[in-house]
Amino acid sequence: MATQILLCFFLFFSVTLSSSGHPKNFSVELIHRDSPLSPIYNPQITVTDRLNAAFLRSVSRSRRFNHQLSQTDLQSGLIGADGEFFMSITIGTPPIKVFAIADTGSDLTWVQCKPCQQCYKENGPIFDKKKSSTYKSEPCDSRNCQALSSTERGCDESNNICKYRYSYGDQSFSKGDVATETVSIDSASGSPVSFPGTVFGCGYNNGGTFDETGSGIIGLGGGHLSLISQLGSSISKKFSYCLSHKSATTNGTSVINLGTNSIPSSLSKDSGVVSTPLVDKEPLTYYYLTLEAISVGKKKIPYTGSSYNPNDDGILSETSGNIIIDSGTTLTLLEAGFFDKFSSAVEESVTGAKRVSDPQGLLSHCFKSGSAEIGLPEITVHFTGADVRLSPINAFVKLSEDMVCLSMVPTTEVAIYGNFAQMDFLVGYDLETRTVSFQHMDCSANL
């Protein structure tokens, strides 16, 4: 049921090892935060409450994306208690297990570190760098330190230690030392895969709205210091995910795949794989696509949204890269002027129901039927070179037995292709060829 689609996951890794060296292919199991398997599962929270919380996070995340793009200081993606993913890794030697928010809108990975100047309450143990034999501080003139922007980095000149400072749109923050450490990922066979020399932030001054479950942030963005970029050759610069709409209500899971075999194959004409170029633009953290139009039935509506160009004095311009694809945002947010035309076409195409207001006032276009089945239009999203045909679960959310709402909303800020629209697609990122591919499949059957 669409009412049960919420995309907050707790991540565990399931890794298939190669005979030697780092694996070229492995998979990450995603356990939905609202699944009974999730360690933060709360059976007292209703489906409606979960939906409303997810919708509010989508709007909040969009504002933080926009705030980051338009300010001099770093304003990374949505973090804290309403972050969309948790990820289990081990760090240090001997290894200590930490749970951190996996954020596709951030680059540098950081965890809380002892000794703390100021640390938020954390349920698990805090990493103690003094107890790890593989911890190594980065000097101020190192390449890794210089990879941070001038507003992100500092220097302890007396000890020649590179410093990082991150502030977030919700006033959360983290400050600490830039270092390298051995990061390990647990495998299904019980043998961890280790990545020595991984750059991360050792945060001793952290505060704001971070959840007690998490130790910090795992950066999965496109920038140079993200975990994805650092694992580059180990995963052949390729990864994909398949998000199941069933994962919130059963013990089923979704999955992220990393490596050569993770990308959908388009060799067969019947594969149904379509691909669109990634657009290279600043900041490199985000994955930008170009949205050309959206069709409602046979009516094709050209997209009129603009993209932000930070090199153009903050002026909006009609350029490529006008939408960010993000696995951590629930709703799809579209430019307000375009949305008016698009939503009108949707309203004209819905049959067996009348338009009503969302009881929570969060979604703009809801439809309620009497006893008749609601007829919903087919919606196709047209990216450059890729026509992605959506199922009803991708474009509508079922709030009750007789009410559905469009899961796309208007925005005057950053346009985002959210994870409702990506449900039951294998979404592949090839960072070598700079493309994103889509293949429709039952993700619950492909784990």
- Residues belonging to the active site: 103, 326
Residue 92 falls in which region: left (phi positive, over 0), alpha (psi -120 to 50) or beta: left
The answer to whether 307 touches 322, Cβ cutoff 8 Å, is yes
In angstroms, the CA 382 to CA 376 distance is: 19
- Report DSSP letters for 280-343, one per residue: P-SSTTS-EE-EEEEEETTEEEE----EE-TTTTT-EES-S--EEE-TT-SSEEEEHHHHHHHH
Q: Using the 8-state DSSP alphabet, how is residue 129 labeled?
A: G
- Report DSSP letters for 48-114, one per residue: HHHHHHHHHHHHHHHHHHHHHHHSSS-EESS-GGG-SEEEEEEETTTTEEEEEEEETT--S-EEEEE
Neighbours of 392 (CB within 10 A): 15
| Cβ-based burial of 145 (10 A; exposed 0-12, middle 13-18, buried ≥19) | buried
The answer to whether 413 touches 63, Cβ cutoff 8 Å, is yes
In angstroms, the CA 122 to CA 11 distance is: 18
Peptide bond connecting 264 to the previous residue in cis, omega within 30 degrees of 0: no
